[in-house]
Amino acid sequence: MTSRERIEKALNFEEPDRPPHFEQMYELVEEAFGESFPEESDFVGTTLSERDKLFEKCASLYAKTIEKFEWDGVLVWLPARRTDAQYEFIPYLKNFLGPDIYVGSFIWSSAICIDTVDDYMQFSIDLHENRQRLRDWAEEMLEDALIHADKLINAGCDMIDIANDYAFNAGPFISPDDFAELATPYMKRVVSFIKSKGVKVILHSDGNLIPIIDQIIEIAPDVLQSIDPMAGMDIAEVKKLTYGKISLMGNVQCSYLQEGPRSMIEESAEYAIQHASPGGGFIFSSSNTIFKGLPLENYEIMVDYFHKRFQ
């Protein structure tokens, strides 16, 4: 079964030969390959030949990551949106990797969320005294997200990850009623637009989303990531609530990947596999990203366990 077939079967709530696997981001390329991605500033003011060399470097590192860990897809985190290079790089990468690997990218900070609120005092005042200001702000972010989404779609993305953190460990950062007014309608519009173009949508948020899980279902992404176990998100329970509506991506606990021991990494991986893979609708991954500082050997434990589990 090809990687593309594996992802599509899983997202159709059918069981592939094994669950698909990739990560939202992987920041250990230097530890794994002794190489680094170019800096974002390296893409500014380049000639075509210079840009092609940078593209080749990036594509090579994505390809090495896919090969080493047997990923089925990849989300482009570099080059990022800060230059137009990303829109040119995506078709380059798709050609470099071939047709079987899903390729996507990110829409960051596209809604009122933990990441976009800078002044919580003013935000709290506006919640009570100037909600129209917040609605206008949400509309501005939505319009920007739609422009970015359209460019990513035209570049050939197979999937788009909308990364907005909506919750802390204790629950959503605003009440469910406020979320229904200030986040859900705007997210529904961008998700609906992307899906109408035949592109898959991953919705990312850490934290405890259970109080707003009905609204996440209403927003209707194809995939919900990260199913945060450190916030009490039990993937077995979330699967019951979302099965047939939203696929899940996660949820090997990042604190175990950071600190070990091996037994807890494997136990967390097994729990996710055992409770989320039956019936499809599951992409195996960490409960966030493979971030800088995480020991490479711990991620290798997770991946080795996963692949041996499905031999």
* Tens of pLDDT, residues 209-227: 999 999 999 999 999 999 9
- Name the helix (H) or strand (E) containing 74: strand 73-76
Strand partners, 159: 104, 200
Who's near 302: CB < 8 A, 6+ residues apart? 252, 257, 265, 266, 269, 286
Domains and their CATH numbers in the chain: 3-309 (3.20.20.210)
Q: Are 64 and 12 in contact (CB under 8 A)?
A: no
Q: How far apart are CA 113 and CA 195, in angstroms?
A: 22
Q: How far apart are CA 234 and CA 243, in angstroms?
A: 14
pTM: 0.97
Rg (the chain; Cα; Å):
19
Place of tokens 């998100």: 233
Q: How far apart are CA 118 and CA 95, in angstroms?
A: 39
Q: Sorting pLDDT into bands at 50, 70 and 90, what band is 83? A: confident
Q: How far is CA 40 from CA 31, 46, 52, 75, in A?
A: 20, 12, 14, 16
Number of CB atoms found within 10 A of residue 70's CB: 13
In tens, the pLDDT along 91-144 reads 999 999 999 999 999 999 899 999 999 999 999 999 999 999 999 999 999 999
Q: How far apart are CA 212 and CA 177, in angstroms?
A: 9
- Does the pLDDT value for residue 71 go beyond 90? yes
Who's near 197: CB < 8 A, 6+ residues apart? 153
Q: How far is CA 284 from CA 151, 193, 268, in A?
A: 28, 26, 11
In tens, the pLDDT along 187-214 reads 999 999 999 999 999 999 999 999 999 9
- Using DSSP bridges, classify how beta strands 282-286 and 247-252 pair: parallel, antiparallel or unpaired: parallel
Which of helix, strand or coil describes residue 100?
A: coil
CA angle in degrees (0–180, nearest 5) for 30-202-278? 95
In tens, the pLDDT along 255-286 reads 999 999 999 999 999 999 999 999 999 999 99
In tens, the pLDDT along 227-242 reads 999 999 999 999 999 9
- Does the pLDDT value for residue 81 go beyond 90? no
CA-wise closest residue to 275 among 302, 307, 304, 242: 242
Looking at residue 82, its pLDDT comes to 74
